[in-house]
Every structure is written in structure tokens, then in C-alpha cells.
Amino acid sequence: HKTPNTIIEWDLSITSKKVVDPNERLSGEVTFVNREKRFGFIRYGDSGTTDMFFHFNELPYGAEVDRGDEVTFSIATDRRKGKDAATNIQISDSRSDEDLVEMRVFSMNLPFAALLSNGYKTLETRNGTMFTPYPEGTKMLLHVGQRMYPDGDRHIEVMKSGGLNDDEIMNLKSLPPGFSKGMAVAIVELGKTFETTLEQRSEPDFQRAVAAFGSDSGMRATEIRRVEYLKRGVKVSGRGGVFKAKVDKNVIPDGWLDTPQKVYSVTV
């Protein structure tokens, strides 16, 4: 007969289980994350406390966590499974507004996000007007989406037309260690945005600058005047279009924030 609120261990010893107070708030540190299966573990309490399981559904909407992030949470017991899990998780952020900078952000999927970040892709084309409201010199962060863009590897044909070999192409398509999907990885300065014809987009130099054939490119082209990787990748919840995010000033490469960011009256 099992006594309530006890656990029978593998060696048949009995451990008393603390009764869960669902209103108690606890603090801890994320020690493990499995993004594919959307769960992780939180270390909390003293050295004898077992790390607490959590599911991504318990994170704030759109939030992402990584190892080392500090969080607060409550504990709830799954009545069906009889197991405890973290719930109502909030991500702690001890940084003050003085440590942060608000930047505009746009998202691209691989491999094109890497091609742009690595300096190969110097034109970004869209059929929409996403970049049209922003003047030359506008600085934005580049976020890497969670998908791979399905172009059937046609970008490889374009890149090989410029004489690049397979190893060079693979390097240009790859992000550096520590940078991955779901992160803001680079800062870019936009040049002018202009409309193009299919004939213009089909010129070999234009195609290589976009890393796409003319028929696959959007009608509006935006110059990428310069680009540089952030000092480290920053977790950002991606959205469509141009959106805003606050990031630590220390991740911005030197010199990029010397000119204050202008505030534009644009609805995004």
C-alpha cells in the first residue's frame, strides 16, 4: 500500500513528496531545451531538488528560452499522470532600458538569410512594399526564420554561374557557430528601394546579387548597403513584415549605433 504524497524509488526506499502549492512562485534557471519536441527543464531550489519539467505551451506567447535564462514559475500537478510540471512561466530580465536599444527587424529564411549575412546577397527583392517606407541609411536587424525557403536549390545554379564551387557556396549558406534559426543574427543598412522589370531582374549580375533567377525575384529591389554579424545571436520571436524588438546594446557591432536611430511614422 502506497502512502499518499510519497515516491517509491528504484531501491524501494521511500521519498516524501512535497505538496504542491499552485500559488507559490519559484525562481530558477533553464538547464535544458529541446526545441523540436518543445520542452525543457528548470533548475531551482537547493542542490537536492530535481530539475522541473516544462512545456513550451507554458511560456509567454511568442517567447523563446535558452539554457541559462532565468525564469519564475509555479508548479502544477498533472492529475492523470501524477507528475509535476512548471506552469505560468515568466522570463526574468534584469536589464534596464538604458542597456537596451529598440531596433526594427525583418525576417528571412535560410539559405537566403545566411547569404545576406555573409555578404553575398546584396539585393533583397519583394513584391510587396515592406521596405518602401524606409529611407536609405535605415538600419535593421536580420532575423532568421524557422523554415528553409523551398526554391529547389535554384540559388545554387545562380551562384555557380559566377564561378563559385560547392565548398564556397556551402560556406556562404551557413551561419557561424552560435547563430541559428529563431535568432536575430546581423545588422544591415538599407540602400535605396526601386522597382524593376523582368528584363532587369534577368541580367546575370542582378541574379547573382539576389541569389535567384529573375523569374523567381520580386519586382521591388532593396539594396543592402552593408551588413555585419551581431556580437552574438539574440533570440527574437519572428513576425511578418517589419517589426520592432528591444535587444541588448552590447550585441550591436561597434560603430553601428554612433548615429541615433530615427523614429519614422510608419505603421508596421
Q: Per-residue pLDDT tens for 143-198?
A: 999 888 989 999 999 999 999 999 999 999 999 998 999 899 999 999 999 999 99
- Answer with the residue of higher pLDDT: 171 or 79: 171
Mean pLDDT confidence for 4-28: 66
The pTM (predicted TM-score) of the whole model is 0.66
Mean pLDDT confidence for 15-31: 77
Residue 246 has what pLDDT? 85
Mean pLDDT confidence for 3-25: 63
Residue 100 has what pLDDT? 85
- Answer with the residue of higher pLDDT: 14 or 236: 236
Residue 63 has what pLDDT? 72
Mean pLDDT confidence for 205-218: 97
Mean pLDDT confidence for 192-208: 97
- Answer with the residue of higher pLDDT: 266 or 69: 69
Q: Determine the Cα–Cα distance for residues 143 and 107; give it in Å rounded to an integer.
A: 4
Residue 123 has what pLDDT? 98
234 by DSSP, 3-state: which? strand
Q: What is the mean pLDDT of the chain?
A: 87
Residue 19 has what pLDDT? 62
Mean pLDDT confidence for 97-118: 92
Mean pLDDT confidence for 70-79: 89
Q: Determine the Cα–Cα distance for residues 201 and 208; give it in Å rounded to an integer.
A: 10
Nearest to 126 by CA among 194, 225, 184, 228: 194
pLDDT tier at 10 (50, 70, 90 boundaries)? low
Which range (51-65, 105-119, 188-202) has the least confidence?
A: 51-65
Phi, psi of 187 (to 5 degrees): -115, 135
Query: Is the dihedral angle over the CA atoms 42, 45, 47, 52 positive or is it negative?
Result: negative
Measured torsion, CA atoms of residues 153, 212, 234, 177, in degrees rounded to the nearest 10? 50
Tens of pLDDT, residues 34-46:
888 889 999 998 7
Residue 258 has what pLDDT? 77
224 by DSSP, 3-state: which? strand
Q: Determine the Cα–Cα distance for residues 17 and 71; give it in Å rounded to an integer.
A: 23
Mean pLDDT confidence for 11-37: 77
Tens of pLDDT, residues 112-158:
999 999 999 999 999 999 999 999 999 999 999 988 898 999 999 99
Q: Is the pLDDT of residue 265 over 50?
A: no
- Please list, in sequence order, all residues whose beta carbon lies within 8 angstroms of the beta carbon of residue 51, skipping any fewer than 6 positions away: 31, 32, 41, 42, 43, 44
- Answer with the residue of higher pLDDT: 115 or 237: 115
Residue 17 has what pLDDT? 55
Q: Determine the Cα–Cα distance for residues 98 and 246; give it in Å rounded to an integer.
A: 11
